[in-house]
Amino acid sequence: NVALFVFGDSLFDVGNNNVLNISILFKANFPPYGETFFRYPTGRFCDGRTIPDYVAHYANIPYWKPFLDPSYQNFNNGTNFASDGGTVLPEDNIETLHALPVPCLQPGANFVDGANFASAGAGALEIHSGVMNLKMQVTNFKKVASSLAQKLGEAEAKKILMRSVYLFSIGGNDYFSFNTGHAKATQSEQRDYMHLVIGNITNGVKEIYDIGGRKFGFQNVGPLGCLPMIRAQHPELNGTCVKSLLLHATLHNKALPNSLKKLESKLPGFKYSVFDYYNSLGDRIDNAKKYGFKEGKIACCGIGLYNARNCGVDTVKFKVCKNPKEYVFFDGGHTSERTNYQLANLMWSGVPNVTGPYNVKQLFELS
């Protein structure tokens, strides 16, 4: 198998944050999360499987445990580094995270099919103390690469890393944070911040490339201003999307492929894929019935306006819909398993104007 290494935020997190001593806001290890497929909460911010779960399945990689899971010693089939709240840029004091033991890096650990490092709340910057931002996820990847080299030898490890696919979902939390703290930012300030985020992403990519990575897949930033939790924060807009957040996302999404194209021209063997998550999800929000959903704007699980808050929090009387498959969103900020299935198919085998210049299936097939 070609290995799959996953980096990102809560959209890709499979439970890394379960291990961290952080706010419940950045965890999904309680019901009703996981009810549709796993039948128990795994730490995924979904009723079932996430987009990278489906990608791994299509690539013949079994469902993985999170990278930080103490019981996880077999990485033959990949691991997930993503974290909820994950950001791109480094800002907060996170010394405690740097001191975390990595229980999976034991003599019996095996990473030849990849790893998932994603952490809910993560981003390109360190905007949330305690979660694993992109820089820390890349650091964890380097530990895995070193482990592979010790186990298999430098040459064989390099072959595995060069064949591997590296999948990213990062940036949204950075723009949430900036929009909250800089509501009156000028367009120039917004662009400067966007370039900082993109710069940190490309720096992470170059670090992985230097170790051996060649094939990189990206999910661009979604329609942030149209999430139920954002609509609920702005009742004065009567259900319309928050334009400032949409602007952040569109600026980012225009810059990302341009930056990757520049990397391709400078780095021999570098190949990339960008999935248009923004428009693919946005179309399902606006035209839910077209895609087999009954509801595109209200979440399945939560309380309050748009059912956007406190899904699974046992101190409040949250509501859960009877059939999550009818909803685009499972909670106020995360899509349902059915939505993830549809989006994963587009990422895996979509046409170039949806996922390009390569789709992820083609990345796996590249020698």
Per-residue pLDDT at 221: 99
Per-residue pLDDT at 1: 74
Task: Give the Cα separation of 203 and 209 in Å (integer).
Answer: 10
Beta bridge partners of 5: 79, 115
Task: Give the Cα separation of 165 and 230 in Å (integer).
Answer: 33
312-345 per-position pLDDT tens digit: 988 888 999 999 999 999 999 999 999 999 999 9
Of 9, 10, 83, 84, the catalytic one is 10
Per-residue pLDDT at 256: 99
In the residue annotation, 283 being an active-site residue is answered as no
Domain residue spans of the chain: 4-226+243-287+351-365
Task: Give the Cα separation of 228 and 305 in Å (integer).
Answer: 8
Of 13, 177, 331, 336, the catalytic one is 331
Q: Which of 178, 167, 200, 199 is nearest to 51 (CA)?
A: 167
Q: Which of 277, 295, 300, 244 is nearest to 350 (CA)?
A: 277
Over the chain, what is the mean pLDDT?
89
The reported pTM is 0.91
Beta bridge partners of 220: none
C-alpha angle with apex 71: 68 to 64, nearest 5 degrees?
65
Residues 16, 43 contacting (CB under 8 angstroms) = yes
Per-residue pLDDT at 4: 95
Task: Give the Cα separation of 10 and 4 in Å (integer).
Answer: 18
**Residue showing tokens 């530990």:** 143
Q: Strand, coil or helix: what is 363?
A: helix
In the residue annotation, 367 being an active-site residue is answered as no
264-314 per-position pLDDT tens digit: 999 999 999 999 999 999 999 999 999 999 999 999 999 999 999 999 988
Per-residue pLDDT at 64: 62
Q: Which of 135, 357, 168 is nearest to 261 (CA)?
A: 357
Of 164, 280, 334, 336, the catalytic one is 334
- Residue 84 is inside which H or E element, if any? strand 79-88
Which segments in the chain show pLDDT lower than 70?
A: 63-66, 69-110, 129
